[in-house]
Amino acid sequence: MRNKSIYACMDIKDGRVVKGVKFSDLQEISDDPVSLAKKYEAEGADYLVFYDIGATVDKKEIFYDKIEEILKAVKIPLLVGGGIRSLADCDKLYELGVRQFSINSAAIRNPGLLKEVSEKYGPESLVLSVDVKKLGDRYHVFLGAGKEDTGLEAKAWLEKCVDLGAGTLVINSIDSDGTKGGYDLPMLEALTKDVDCRVVASGGAGKKEDFFELFQKNEKVTGALAASIFHYGLVSIKEIKEGLEKFTKETEAEITVNKRKVETPKNDT
């Protein structure tokens, strides 16, 4: 668990931080994303995520000025998504200092964009974000803030995107989003089984134990993204990081003890 990462996410609309439940009933969290970003960095977040949902849903220009402010205020990596429609958008973000581009809707409309971005900036810079909802016994990819069923089968889509150059997958469960009921472990198990890249789970975190359970039960998952749990102060990033460190030490100690028991020869006399 030492290599697991915590992603603090800010959904941005009209320059303000908002959050809803299952992509609906958006509530304003803060009118100052820069201060919130500094707070999450101070608590120990490994990554900040800036999702400009207004740029995607309302087809507005990305809030470049707000992104630039955040980049000047914090030193941890900033992953930016929402409103990226072309390689030129990535070029502009790169000039500001962004090194990870999260693409969702544009990839579905133009899968070739993933290859363009990956070839220019490398797989480590290309993040494929996907919103998934269960329909019967299948998982489908959705667009439009979880309202538009693309008809794409999620697992096949993820595999295709990895082939096109995505180095990280952020898989968000619409069914769990904002519910604080825990990560969607069955969905993650079904979609990540044969995926060969970094995987970040999103949607549903409500307590620190949810993070421990996620990392313990799905070795493919390298990072956990959360928003509500941090916004509402249900648990701090520092608590989660300390808990993961403690859990790791206890697990390693148990493994060491069990190993010694196996290696110690039995006394037959």
**Mean pLDDT for the chain?**
90
Q: What is the mean pLDDT of residues 240-257?
A: 80
Predicted TM-score (pTM) of the model is 0.89
pLDDT confidence bin for 31, thresholds 50/70/90: confident
pLDDT digits (tens, 9 = 90+) for 102-138: 999 999 999 999 999 999 999 999 999 999 999 999 9
Q: Which amino acid is at 256?
A: T
- The total of structural domains in the chain comes to 1
pLDDT confidence bin for 177, thresholds 50/70/90: confident
In-domain check, residue 97: yes
| Lowest-pLDDT range of 11-15, 95-99, 105-109, 115-119 | 11-15
pLDDT of 70 strictly over 90: yes
In-domain check, residue 269: no
pLDDT confidence bin for 194, thresholds 50/70/90: confident
In-domain check, residue 179: yes
| Lowest-pLDDT range of 21-30, 83-92, 181-190, 201-210 | 21-30
pLDDT confidence bin for 264, thresholds 50/70/90: low
In-domain check, residue 139: yes
Residue with tokens 């030492």: 2
pLDDT digits (tens, 9 = 90+) for 196-218: 899 999 999 999 999 999 999 99
Number of H helices, E strands in the chain: 11, 12
pLDDT confidence bin for 255, thresholds 50/70/90: low
pLDDT of 11 strictly over 80: yes
In-domain check, residue 187: yes
CA distance 229 to 179: 10
In-domain check, residue 171: yes
Q: Which residues are catalytic?
A: 11, 131
Quote the tokens at residue 49: 């995520």
Integer CA distances (angstroms), 31 to 68, 105, 122, 127, 187, in order: 16, 26, 34, 27, 33
What is the model's pLDDT at position 9?
Answer: 95
What is the model's pLDDT at position 27?
Answer: 82
In-domain check, residue 232: yes
- Which structural domain range is residue 135 located in? 5-263
What is the model's pLDDT at position 59?
Answer: 66
What is the model's pLDDT at position 72?
Answer: 96
Task: CATH number of the domain at 79, please.
Answer: 3.20.20.70
In-domain check, residue 268: no
pLDDT of 56 strictly over 70: no
Taking Cα atoms as reference points, which of 154, 138, 173, 134 lies closest to residue 23?
173
